[in-house]
Structure 1
Amino acid sequence: MSDRVFPDPYPASKEMLALIARLRAAPFKADTKTVPELRENFERFASGFSDIPASTRFESVDGVGVEMEWAIAENASADAAVLYLHGGGYSIGSIAAYRDHCARLSVTTGVPVLSVGYRLAPEHPYPAALDDARLAYDWLLGQGISADRIVVSGDSAGGGLSLALMLALRDDSRPLPAGAVLLSPLADMAHTGDSVHERAHVDPIVTPAGSHAYSTRYLGEDGDFDTPYASPVYADLSGLPPVLVTVGTDELLFDDSVRVVRKIRDAGGSADLDVWPKMIHIFPFFASQVPESKRAMDYIARFMKDRIGLDQEAEAL
């Protein structure tokens, strides 16, 4: 796989245009609402995109110390896994809100997806989310799933958290996963990328003020916003497994994706950048209704299966 940049102008589907209009009519306004309101609004919004494939079942994981749930498609491979870390600025989002997304990921990859309900800020600030992600990853290894049969994935804050998890594992000389897929990753909590201001007017979800509020909740008013485990663009990104980054051009955080890919490559690693014109923040999340989102999910699944080795196994059969 290599970088994909679709031709522009690129006509967005009527479903995507309707979604953008809907978002602009009722924006999240993350900088003006309380955290309980933000959480409630997101859960309600996410429920509107839930059309879970009937062939998928869900299994809760208890007694681990962090909330987790399997999404398992019919005939999914039992010896591999996708570890999924949801988005939401480290303050909102949940396993329930991402149930449809994780189910579709399991169906398209043929691999069980372990969704992690890590602790949220401001009740549980940095590094609580990273601690929970590590706990979930170690639990997977303890279940007998080899690291080279695991792909880590996440969107927005979950994308940044996926990178942070791999950095922490590398720094502790722990086994690294086979690869990672980052969807519109939040990788710079200081928001220093040019796109934060240059593309704010086209992003119907993320705002500069709202992003700053999320960073403050996670790192504190006097927090260090360039902490590498919270803002991986400031980290040494060498020694990581292959990474796929999917992003839309109409994103305030567009430069986070570009900078992450550039830094991984500059450090000698493998990173593919999949850029979709006219697409918005975390657009693969909307695969139940938006055709571009579904196509992006298919491409993501191909990368994951390649990293885990499922395509080779199918050819061998």
Structure 2
Amino acid sequence: MKIAPVWKQIITESILKTAIRTPSQFTLPVGSLRFALEQMCRIFPQNRDIQVRALRLSGIRAEELKPQKESTQLILHIHGGAFFLGSLNTHRAFLSDLAARTQMQVIHVDYPLSPEHPYPEAVDALFDVYCTLIDQGIQSKDIILSGDSCGANLALALTLKIRDEQMPQVSGLMLLSPFLDLTLTGNSIRNNRKHDALLSPEALEAGIAYYVPAGMDKADPKVSPLFDDFKGLPPTLVQIGSKEILLDDAERFKKKAVEAGVQVSYKLYTGMWHNFQMFHHWFDEAERALADIAEFAHQCDAD
């Protein structure tokens, strides 16, 4: 039986709010939350046309997701999960479809999570991974840096570190449902609290408490890259759903980046919640987002 799109969305949001958002409002053991998220993400079908190979980069576990045809362009993706959740397992299906749609190699990194590894361990590890790729002979112009949620935070922080260390810069940056302000000052944190089907302010607060060391200012640009200077950033794609509590993070980034002379492609997707891109098999807006990612990636390749 075919379900009307409006009812499909209502049912999906209800399930997500019950299974993910509501439990995230309580203090539960980190290990239990990690296990539960991995089990939930098994609903996403993996693209079987994509070859998946385990590897290690600078001592970090990673996966290479590669389409059948050869490609010189590489997408280095950093998964989300409020700095303490997420893994190679939770994002493998989505990234297999990203590799298929773009026909580009995708590298997915299992970076160190908090609270076991607070700032700056994740950023330092990711910078080491990037340096390893460059040392292996991969040209920076052939690398697109990507991240979702807190992974977008780390992707932006990594791009800024690459700039500040005067390393060769990536050809493009993709920020999906970005979590960039750890002070939680965006109005959408409150305004969209009841509308975002996936993410709660409490989950963000827990992640911040795990990630930011005691005594460190949460407004420090090193952990809240929204407050950094964006001069010298590569062309950047920003995707955000209209129901996301992080909507203001994306909008404020766009404004600051444009003022800094960055080429920004900003996309707002009506009726979508946090990390909606992972639901592209079921919703037209999410499918359009995946197509927009591929279009942006191909433009970076052409440039």
Give the secondary structure class of the aligned counterpart of 2:88.
Answer: coil
Q: Is the aligned partner of 1:45 residue 2:40?
A: yes
User: How far 1:143 sits from its partner (Å)?
Assistant: 2.5
**Cα shift at 1:12:** 5.8
Give the partner amino acid of 2:29: T
Q: For residue 83 of structure 2, what is the amino acid of its counterpart?
A: Y
**Counterpart pick for 2:203 among 194, 198, 210:** 210
Residues of 2 paired with 1:12 and 1:159: CA distance? Answer: 29
Q: Scaled by the length of structure 2, what TM-score is found?
A: 0.94
Q: Which runs of 4+ in 1 moved over 6 A?
A: none
Give the length in aligned residue pairs.
298
Q: Partners of 1:45 and 1:16 in 2: how far apart?
A: 18
Question: Cα offset for 1:88?
Answer: 0.2
Shift of 1:151: 0.4
C-alpha separation between the residues in 1 aligned to 2:234 and 2:181? 20
Q: Secondary structure at the match of 1:124?
A: coil
Inter-partner Cα distance in structure 2 for 1:303 and 1:234? 25
Q: Tell me how large the CA RMSD over aligned residues is.
A: 1.6
Cα distance in 1 between the residues matched to 2:156 and 2:57? 26
In structure 2, the partner of 1:72 is 66
Distance 2:61 2:125 in 1: 9
Instruction: Work out whether 1:244 is the aligned partner of 2:237.
Output: yes
Match of 2:295 in 1: 302
> Given that residues 109 and 301 in structure 1 are in contact (C-alpha distance below 8 angstroms), is that contact kept between their aligned partners in structure 2?
yes
- CA distance in 2 between partners of 1:190 and 1:83 (Å): 27
- Structure 1 gap ranges (5+): 1-10, 313-317
SS at match of 1:298: helix
Are 1:235 and 2:223 counterparts?
no
Between the aligned partners of 1:14 and 1:153, the Cα distance in structure 2 is: 32
Query: CA shift at 1:14, angstroms?
Result: 4.5
Which amino acid counterpart does residue 96 of structure 1 have in structure 2?
Answer: N
Are 1:85 and 1:161, in contact at CA under 8 Å, matched by a contact in 2?
Answer: yes
Distance in 1 (alpha carbons) for counterparts of 2:190 and 2:16: 19
Task: Please tell me whether the aligned partners of residues 270 and 285 of structure 2 are also in contact (alpha carbons under 8 angstroms).
Answer: no
Q: Which residue of 1 aligns with 2:48?
A: 54
After TM superposition, the score normalised by the length of structure 1 is: 0.90
Q: Whole-Å Cα distance in 1 between the matches of residues 237 and 56 of structure 2?
A: 31
Aligned to 1:4: none
SS at match of 1:97: helix
- Give the equivalent residue in structure 1 for 2:87: 94
The answer on whether the counterparts of 1:15 and 1:291 sit within 8 Å (CA) in structure 2 is no
Conserved? CA contact 1:30–1:213, under 8 Å: no
Partner of 1:36: 31
1:129 aligns with 2:122: yes
> Secondary structure of the residue that 2:239 maps to in structure 1?
strand
SS of the residue 1:306 aligns to: helix
CA shift in 2, pair 1:13/1:292, >3 Å: farther
Q: Which position in structure 2 is the counterpart of 1:151?
A: 144
Go from structure 1 to structure 2 and tell me whether the alpha carbon gap of 1:172 and 1:281 turns closer, same or farther (over 3 Å shift): same
Whether contact under 8 Å (1:168, 1:229) holds in the other structure is no
- In structure 2, what is the Cα distance between the partners aligned to 1:184 and 1:63? 26
Secondary structure of 1:164's aligned partner: helix
Ranges in structure 2 where 5+ consecutive residues have no aligned partner: none
SS in 2 for 1:82: strand
The Cα of 1:303 is off from its aligned counterpart by: 0.2
2:264, 2:301 → 1: CA distance? 16
Compute the displacement of 1:174 (Å): 0.6
User: Which stretch shifts more, 216-225 or 91-100?
Assistant: 216-225
DSSP 3-state at the match of 1:26: helix
CA contact (8 A) 1:72 1:112 kept: yes
Q: Aligned equivalents of 2:215 and 2:42: distance in 1?
A: 35
Distance 1:129 1:182 in 2: 17
